A and B are shown apart, each in its own frame.
Chain A
């Protein structure tokens, strides 16, 4: 069971490398200073592979997938 996830970023860890926006353009764009703006809401299942790649590709390990159910 895959579950529903949101993309979350640790703003202190994030250094604005911008890798996430390359790997997950469906959900992430960069602001004028190169920091991610994340689309709100759950990651669509079709996009989940890209999201996982973005999480593992973040040079500062700032990105994570947060299970929606676990937050309740």
Chain B
């Protein structure tokens, strides 16, 4: 599996989301966010729908997404 060449914007948006996790927590706790141009363009608990909304809004194929984890997710078996 070769690493695809992603746009600079994809990396920049993903890094932006990671860096702004604290701010995103206030509004999007335990939700998925889609980020384009350092702005949240979709949010919700269904990742597929969030991506579809973001793609429809921006026309972009590859969109940075992140789960805005509040630290509660610990799973056992």
Is B truly associated with A? Answer: no
